[in-house]
A and B are shown apart, each in its own frame.
Chain A
């Protein structure tokens, strides 16, 4: 989550060079960070219960969403660089 927040701030740094489209990158990374922040307590609770029961379900949805956010950020970045 902190990595996404940091990267979203770095994206904002390129606003003067790339203009408003960079806000899309900021929105995706900051949105992903916010989603992680607002769900981490629930996931942490589920994990600690799972460790106590010695049975933790793999959090496949979170993994797929995080990877998808990375792919979207990359795709938008390529689009912005090529269009600039």
Chain B
């Protein structure tokens, strides 16, 4: 039974204004799926935190290895990627939750190719710099 199917015409329990606004319509999905979606979100957040810490680490610890411009560039790329992942993981969580509520197919993960492309770009910059040096 879902919130929208309460017998006797009873008023379904309120989900809160933000939830009503960002997750409108549909039915509450199986709790296991909601919790799995949240675990996936938290896994993305952990990746994002690793990128943020890595960005600061590169800037602080590679002064005698990279030129300043390369060092700052890599650090900023990692930090921006961490920011983007953090925001993207929330958007992804929201889109998956909406799809589950409406029993629609799950959306493709857009942050996966983004993360892969940015990771490859950062690796290429480091490779070129090491070969050129």
- Residues on A close to B: CB < 8 A? 3-4, 7, 10-11, 13-14, 17-18, 22, 25, 29, 47, 50-51, 54-61, 63-64, 66-67, 69-71, 73-75, 77-78, 80-82, 84
Q: Which residue of B lies closest to A77 (CB)?
A: B79
How many of chain B's residues have a CB under 8 angstroms from any CB in A? 45
Taking a contact as CB atoms under 8 Å apart, the answer to whether A7 and B53 are in contact is yes
Name B83's contact: one of A13, A61, A75 (CB within 8 Å): A75
Taking a contact as CB atoms under 8 Å apart, the answer to whether B82 and A74 are in contact is yes
Majority-rule SS of B interface residues: helix
Taking a contact as CB atoms under 8 Å apart, the answer to whether B55 and A81 are in contact is yes
Taking a contact as CB atoms under 8 Å apart, the answer to whether A7 and B49 are in contact is yes
Q: Which residue of A lies closest to B22 (CB)?
A: A60
- Residues on B close to A: CB < 8 A? 2-3, 15-16, 18-19, 22-23, 28, 30-31, 34-35, 37-38, 41-42, 45-46, 48-49, 52-53, 55-57, 59-61, 72, 75-76, 79-80, 82-87, 89-90, 93-94, 97
Taking a contact as CB atoms under 8 Å apart, the answer to whether A55 and B56 are in contact is no
CA gap between A21 and B59 in the complex, in Å: 14
Q: Which residue of B lies closest to A16 (CB)?
A: B60
Shortest Cβ distance from residue B31 to the other chain A in the assembled complex, whole angstroms: 4
Q: Point out the residues of chain B lying under 8 angstroms from A80, CB to CB.
A: 56
- Which among A29, A56, A64 has the greatest number of chain B C-beta atoms within 10 A? A56
